[in-house]
């Protein structure tokens, strides 16, 4: 076996190990939507994310464990889910919403800024 063949065999053998170390795209809302959302509090029980979506703003796809949203200033949204489902909704100031874990992205389709807190619930233990 010549040197080139040995190198090629090494690359083929190590390829899966190299790919396993590659990072997958983040689905953390505070990372992918850092310009609109940031972590206000995080501990072993909860993570609180504050966000503001200006009219026309579109989040990037992200995931949440079970969570509660408190709407500080409401508006109209279009919620896009990972399975392709799309739902439009009116968020009213003062609304408190519980949601099961989900992967989605939201766009502000209204004319006012939407201001909210998302409280992601962590599993005890």
Q: What is the pLDDT of residues 62-81, one digit of tens each?
A: 999 999 999 999 999 999 99
What secondary structure, in 3-state letters, does the chain show? Answer: CCHHHHHHHHHHHHHHHHHHCCCCCCCCHHHHCCCCEEEEEECCCEEEEEEEECCCCECCCEEECCEEEEEEECEEEEEEECCCCEEEEEECCCCEEEECCEEEEEEECCCCCEEEEEEEECCCC
Condensed to tens digits (0 to 9), the pLDDT of residues 81-121 reads 999 999 999 999 999 999 999 999 999 999 999 999 999 99
């Amino acid at each position: 076996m010549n040197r080139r063949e040995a190198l090629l065999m090494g690359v083929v053998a190590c390829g899966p190990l190299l790919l396993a170390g590659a990072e997958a795209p983040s689905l953390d809302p505070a990372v992918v939507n850092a310009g609109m959302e940031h972590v206000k509090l995080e501990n072993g029980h909860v993570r609180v994310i504050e966000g503001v979506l200006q009219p026309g703003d579109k989040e990037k796809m992200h995931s949440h464990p079970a969570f509660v949203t408190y709407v500080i200033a409401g508006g109209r949204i279009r919620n896009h889910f990972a399975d392709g489902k799309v739902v439009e909704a009116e968020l009213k100031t003062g609304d408190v919403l519980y949601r099961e874990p989900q992967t989605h992205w939201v766009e502000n389709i209204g004319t006012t800024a939407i201001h909210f807190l998302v409280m992601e619930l962590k599993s005890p233990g």
